[in-house]
Amino acid sequence: MRKVVWITFGIALVLVNVIAEVGAYFTGIEIHQFLRIALIVGVTIGASILGGASILIGKLDNERSLSGNAKDTLGADRKKP
């Protein structure tokens, strides 16, 4: 998970600044640094949420019950004599 966050942060850092500089060069509209930082953090947080969700979905096939059989659980599925 750490790799996903750091790789996304690096890519977002480079791409947002490159797009902002190219846009400023061709259009003359300067994008403030605060907005750039907000975009970088937003992309990083969004990718970390999606990366975590994909990791959890990948782990669904490996899920095992912790209780074993229904006979030795203490929950509502146990019949009372």
- The DSSP result for 12-47, as a single string, is HHHHHHHHHHHHHHHH-PPPPHHHHHHHHHHHHHHH
pLDDT at 60: 81
DSSP state of 10: H
**pTM of whole model > 0.85?**
no
Q: What is the pLDDT of residues 10-62, one digit of tens each?
A: 999 999 999 999 999 999 889 899 999 999 999 999 999 998 898 888 888 77
pLDDT tens, position by position, 61-78: 776 666 555 555 565 555
Q: What is the pLDDT of residue 44?
A: 92
